């Protein structure tokens, strides 16, 4: 979720919960403005950087690198630079929509150009592309979009991927059965390579299969279900990934209960609560 308090306080909370990583946005809860960071806040956060193995920032939805016009390059660059100041290791971005383009394929081309430009000198932060719940000209709902993108990148080895279970389900990949989970992850492996996936967003879906609506539910309480999410996070080819929960709004007490429950799902060392 977006920052609702200082990043320093969030880091304290995550550290107290034993989380090895943090994910956050740099925008306000309403999503209309950036959270201000004073030099003092940045300095304080840097003193706590060593608490964590990884720090993920999720790029704002103003970033649409697949668009022909107004593609959000400025906010992308702004957030990337702030992330580096704060010692973040990864930036997760939605690939965007091919706005202003006659086809999604052209949008994939614009995305590739933007990433090629960003990756020329970027060494401090790993860019992580996340699959999406949407269709039509939106890039990344269909996993094959990422295969096409990789063919256009100058340095494909510098781009990583994040799989969101709720997004995949809402797009139309049926993760409500063990066969569906295995089929989806096999397609990911065959199209982009399991080794390129470094993070899983372990989210249940409040909406139906193929709804194209991005609405998360507590793991095990949505349309995908606990057993299928367990399989999703414990698939042998994806055990190297970090696991991140992006919960709907719940109380702090409920949040802790959910985290402790999911930690029992076999693999817990890299599990965290996105905040």
First CA to last CA distance, the chain:
5
Q: What are 230-255's pLDDT values in tens digits?
A: 999 999 999 999 999 999 999 888 98
**How would residue 3 be classed by pLDDT, with cut points 50, 70 and 90?**
low
pLDDT at 268 over 90: no
Average pLDDT, the chain: 92
Q: Note the pLDDT of residue 1.
A: 47
Identify any residues that bridge with 176 across adjacent strands, giving them in sequence order: none
| Strands (DSSP E) found in the chain | 21-24, 54-58, 90-93, 126-130, 159-164, 197-201, 204-205, 216-217, 242-245, 271-273
Mean pLDDT of 87-95: 97
* Domains of the chain, earliest start first: 7-273 (3.20.20.150)
- The DSSP bridge pattern shows strands 204-205 and 216-217 to be antiparallel
Q: Note the pLDDT of residue 275.
A: 42
Q: What are 38-83's pLDDT values in tens digits?
A: 999 999 999 999 999 999 999 999 999 999 998 999 999 999 999 9
Q: Note the pLDDT of residue 4.
A: 45
**How would residue 167 be classed by pLDDT, with cut points 50, 70 and 90?**
very high
Paired tokens of 200? 């899983």
């Amino acid at each position: 979720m977006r920052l609702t308090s200082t990043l320093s306080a969030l880091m304290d909370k995550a550290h107290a919960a034993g989380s090895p990583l943090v994910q956050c946005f740099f925008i306000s809860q309403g999503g209309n403005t950036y959270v201000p960071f004073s030099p003092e806040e940045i300095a304080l956060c840097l003193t706590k950087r060593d608490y964590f193995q990884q720090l993920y920032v999720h790029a704002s939805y103003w970033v649409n690198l697949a668009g022909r016009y107004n593609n959000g390059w400025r906010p992308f660059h702004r957030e990337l630079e702030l992330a580096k100041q704060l010692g973040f290791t990864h930036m997760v971005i939605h690939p965007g929509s091919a706005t202003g383009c006659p086809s999604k394929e052209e949008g994939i081309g614009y995305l590739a150009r933007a990433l090629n430009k960003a990756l020329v000198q970027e060494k401090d932060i790993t860019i992580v592309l996340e699959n999406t719940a949407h269709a039509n000209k939106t890039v990344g709902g269909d996993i094959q979009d990422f295969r096409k993108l990789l063919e256009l990148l100058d340095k494909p080895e510098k781009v990583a991927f994040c799989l969101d279970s709720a997004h995949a389900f809402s797009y139309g990949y049926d993760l409500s059965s063990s066969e569906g989970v295995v089929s989806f992850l096999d397609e990911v492996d065959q199209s982009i390579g399991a080794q390129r996936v470094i993070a899983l967003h372990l989210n249940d879906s409040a909406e139906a299969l193929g709804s194209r609506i991005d609405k998360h539910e507590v793991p095990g309480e949505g349309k995908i279900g606990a057993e299928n999410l367990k399989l999703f996070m414990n698939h042998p080819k994806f055990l190297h990934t970090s696991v991140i929960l992006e919960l709907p709004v719940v109380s702090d007490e409920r949040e802790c209960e959910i985290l402790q429950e999911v930690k029992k799902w076999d693999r817990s060392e890299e599990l965290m609560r996105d905040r």
